[in-house]
Structure 1
Amino acid sequence: MKLFEKTGKMALGSRLRLLTATVTENAAQIYELYKVEFSPKWFPVFFVLSEEGEKTITEIATEIGHSQPSVTKIIQEMTVSGLVEENLKSKDKRRTLVGLTPKGTMLSEKIRVQCTDVDAAIEGIITEATHNLWEAIEEWEFLLEQKSLFRRVQEQKKLRESKDVQIVEYESQYQSAFKSLNEEWISTYFEMEEADYKALDNPKEYILDKGGKIFVALYNNEPVGVCALIKMNDANYDFEMAKMAVSPNAQGKNIGGLLGQAVVDAAKQLGASKLYLESNTILKPAINLYHKLGFQKIAGQATPYKRCNIQMELNLNNQL
């Protein structure tokens, strides 16, 4: 159709629905051809019961990938048609079974003959076609099970928007943003502490003058994220990644990832061998980000922050 030539792949769902409607309409005509009073939507449930015998609604729903309410509605319709009966006796009284009636069993034999012809007809289409739709559907189902279309679009959105993010080094004009962004996220989950105020009120004195760095993420030239590389007086660690904060209005653009990578790159350039950080496990997106950057959980050591319940390190010598 010309519409889909205009819309492109954006209309995949609409095109599949149209194809499904066409096939379903044909299926109804085929049942009429074989003088079978049957609704195409019943087939998955009917097939399971005819092949495997009595089942619970939950078992049927799981096997055919439908919701329980959907299966329940189909069972009710098939019961009215005299093909299925419910509340069959079971050894386990907690299980309510559904099975075919004698009429349903007779119909299953009739449908088997019909299925032979349908299979042959579809095989003919596959032979005529350039691409095997049946195999393609199976492949797509597998790929979408591994990662949904929503997740894939989400990743593309993040990738596109991240291209508009600029990471710059700290200047005095960003002091208020450095403080406000950190205050915002800390106050959302925890309480501001004395160590926070020292670094946020005096970033030049407590971070920059001691050999550290601060990076600022700009989106549309507005500061929306910050992260610091702080020099440590520790025998095991050269620097700490700290004070990472991203505005809630700018999340979903990979800003945290870009800031984190900027800090890691800066630590390497300064000759650091290990990078340290402190966080809290309730901040799941942050913990996931740190893992992606290569950080690993380590045994705890003294910390000035009450909110810290996890400490991590990144061995820069192991990175290419």
Structure 2
Amino acid sequence: MNFFDTVGKMAIGSRLRLLTDKITEDAARIYDTYAVDMQPKWFPVFYVLSRGEQKTITEIAREIGHSHVSVSKIVREMAGKRLVKEKKDKADGRRTIISLSAKGMDMNTRIADQYTDVNNAIEELSAQAQHDLWKAVEEWEFLLEQKSLLRRVQAQRKQRESLQVKIVPYKPAYRKAFRDLNEEWISTWFKMEPADYKALDDPEGYILRKGGHILVALYNDEPVGVCALIRMQDPDYDYELAKMAVSPRVQGKNIGWLLGDACVQKTRSLGASKIYLESNTILKPAINLYHKLGFQKVTGRSTPYERCNIQMELVL
């Protein structure tokens, strides 16, 4: 049974390495066939220098897309074979200039026929293939530059785990979780203030009986996140989005977004027109979340919190 048929596309790294190994092995034998004393990994550096330009290691690395460390190692190996020469830049003694040596230039002349034969062989192979590998690689490189495989996997994980999250209305059984989750995050970044105690010590009286709402995020039926909608006695705003907290144990599972979005949808269902919130810019993930939900910065309102340095609103 073929391993890759069994495992599927999640083994793409292994399959690409296998293909690379096959091509690299053939490349080494091709150099031997043409009596060219060069390792396949040297080729990008050699080719850049073969155009007659003198370049620094940084310039070479930038041009071929390798790391500075990788290029430095290759240059040392090539210098050991006397294919390149190094000299200090007269204008800047900290810079080392690399160029092909006389031996390297001689190799560049002798390798011309090899270039022709290799290029023709690859063109022949491409003509026999149903799919254009070169264009596919370019496309994949572009797409991965926009969003890496790591980020794509993280997004898939977040989406999968978010399916295990349920957003439910507050009930007395969640009172301790409401306090503990909020006290945990407030104490991590700031300090508890009088306004915090008012809401957390008596959520029923301070929030619910005054027309507010509290939503709770359950992950595997455990309360791991909370958020309150506090009814405001204000001509400009209907509700304040407040007391949002998510346990550090479950961060990265999209729970903040699910809670925030649920609160916004709740206020819509209640006929609200504007939501207000207060936060602190040190909480970058939270601020990014609020922007994602559609909140915009406002100024000029008084606040009971010392930690507040940004106020935002969402027009529904």
**TM over 0.5, yes or no?**
yes
Q: Which runs of 4+ in 1 moved over 6 A?
A: none
Superposed CA offset, 1:101-153 (max 9, x none): 01111211222321121111111111111111111111101000000000000
1:234 matched to 2:238: no
Q: How does 1:140-155 map onto structure 2 within 5 Å?
A: 140-155=140-155
Counterpart of 2:247?
247
Cα deviation code 1:188-247 (max 9, x no counterpart)? 000000000100111111111111110000011100000011111122111111100000
Aligned to 1:268: 268
Q: CA deviation at 1:92?
A: 3.4
* Partner in structure 1 of residue 61 of structure 2: 61
Provide the rounded CA distance (Å) in 1 between the counterparts of 2:301 and 2:204.
26
Find the counterpart in structure 1 of residue 29 from structure 2: 29
Partner residue, 1:281: 281
Q: CA deviation at 1:51?
A: 2.1
Aligned equivalent of 2:129: 129
Q: TM-score, normalised by structure 1?
A: 0.96
Report the more deviating stretch, 117-126 or 257-266: 117-126
Mapped to 2, the partners of 1:82 and 1:220 lie a distance apart of: 64
Contact 1:276/1:313 (<8 A) preserved: yes
The separation in 2 between residues aligned to 1:89 and 1:37, in whole angstroms, is 29
Q: What are the within-5 Å matches in structure 2 for residues 101-180 of structure 1?
A: 101-180=101-180
Percent identity among equivalent residues? Answer: 65
Q: Deviations over 1:72-117 (max 9, x none)?
A: 1111110111100112553333321111101111211222321121
One-letter amino acid of the counterpart of residue 113, structure 1 = D
Tell me the residue number matched to 1:295: 295
Normalising by structure 2, report the TM-score. 0.97
Contact 1:90–1:97 (8 Å) recurs in 2: no
Partner of 2:303, secondary structure, is coil
Q: Distance in 2 between matches of 1:304 and 1:176?
A: 24
Take 1:201 and 1:157, find their aligned partners in 2: how far apart are those partners? 36
Cα distance in 1 for residues equivalent to 2:253 and 2:144: 23
Contact persistence 1:57–1:97 (CA under 8 A): yes
The amino acid across from 1:138 in the alignment is: E
- Secondary structure of 1:304 counterpart: coil
- Aligned amino acid, residue 199 of structure 2: A
Deviation at 1:278, TM superposition (A): 0.8
Partner-residue secondary structure (3-state), 2:111: helix
What is the alpha-carbon distance in structure 2 between the residues aligned to residue 130 and residue 299 of structure 1? 61
C-alpha contact 2:260 2:293 (8 A) present in aligned 1 = yes
Shift of 1:182: 0.3
SS of corresponding position for 1:159: helix
Assess if the C-alpha contact under 8 Å between 2:211 and 2:230 holds in 1. Answer: yes
Matched, 1:197 2:197: yes
Q: Distance in 2 between matches of 1:68 and 1:171?
A: 58
CA contact (8 A) 1:300 1:310 kept: no
Query: CA 1:52 to 1:303, structure 2 compared with 1: closer, same or farther past 3 Å?
Result: farther
1:258 aligns with 2:258: yes
CA distance in 2, matches of 1:237, 1:152: 38
What root-mean-square deviation, in Å, do the aligned CA atoms of Structure 1 and Structure 2 show?
1.2
In 2: Cα distance, 1:52 partner to 1:195 partner: 72
Give aligned pairs, total. 316
Q: Give, in whole Å, the separation in 2 of the partners of 1:203 and 1:251.
A: 24
Residue segments in structure 1 that go unaligned for 5+ positions in a row = none
